[in-house]
Amino acid sequence: MQCYCDGKKEFEECCKGYLNSALTPATPEQLMRSRYCAYVLGNGEYIVKTTAKDQRCEDDANLIKEYSKSVIWLGLEVLNAKGDIVEFKAYYKDAQGVKVQHEKSNFIKEDGIWYYKDGLLIASKIERNMPCPCKSGKKYKKCCA
Ligand SMILES: [Zn+2]
Ligand SMILES: [Zn+2]
């Protein structure tokens, strides 16, 4: 099975080891990809655990779980990963339709381990001529737009 993060690798060889804590992400991009998988899988604990210690709130795990299960995750596109910043687009579908979360995330290394610090949301629209994020094979404008 291809990994949820669309990293073109098998789940076993991509994010699985991070999610079950067998491995520690070596780069912010790996961490970001594994966190996207955690959203897909409704793994709120992983999201909390990989958040910088001073931003972390253990009680969020259930809220994150509820939120992540309330939408259908369609895919991830990593646009840029440089230093401690990863820019990405995550596509999902909720009751109102297909949406995109475009974010520049900041990561921080604490005791040799990368954590998610915070993110800047960027207003973004799904281009009408791009392949639909729902992976129907049709253009977005002819599908979920
Ligand atoms: Zn992955
Ligand atoms: Zn569609």
Residue 71 belongs to a domain:
yes
Å from CA of 136 to ligand 2 middle: 6
Distance CA 139, CA 39 (A): 26
Looking at residue 58, what is its pLDDT? 86
Residue 4 belongs to a domain:
no
Helix (H, G, I), strand (E, B) or coil at 100: strand
Ion ligand 1: residues, CB < 5 A: 3, 5, 7, 14-15, 33
Å from CA of 76 to ligand 2 middle: 15
Residue 40 belongs to a domain:
yes
pTM (whole model) above 0.85: yes
Residue 1 belongs to a domain:
no
> Tens place of pLDDT for every residue, the chain, 145 residues?
899 998 889 999 999 999 999 999 999 999 999 999 999 999 999 999 999 999 999 889 999 999 999 999 999 999 999 999 999 999 999 999 999 999 999 999 999 999 999 999 999 999 999 999 998 999 999 999 9
Looking at residue 137, what is its pLDDT? 95
Residue 51 belongs to a domain:
yes
Counting the structural domains of the chain, the total is 1
Looking at residue 106, what is its pLDDT? 98
Domain that holds residue 37: 11-142
| Ligand (nearest to CA of 4) | 1
| Ligand (nearest to CA of 72) | 2
Looking at residue 7, what is its pLDDT? 80
Query: Per-residue pLDDT tens for 64-88?
Result: 999 999 999 999 999 999 999 999 9
Residue 102 belongs to a domain:
yes
Residue 114 belongs to a domain:
yes
Distance CA 103, CA 137 (A): 25
Give the CATH number, domain containing residue 65: 3.10.450.50
Burial label, 84 (beta-carbon count in 10 A; 0-12, 13-18, 19+): middle
Å from CA of 24 to ligand 2 middle: 35
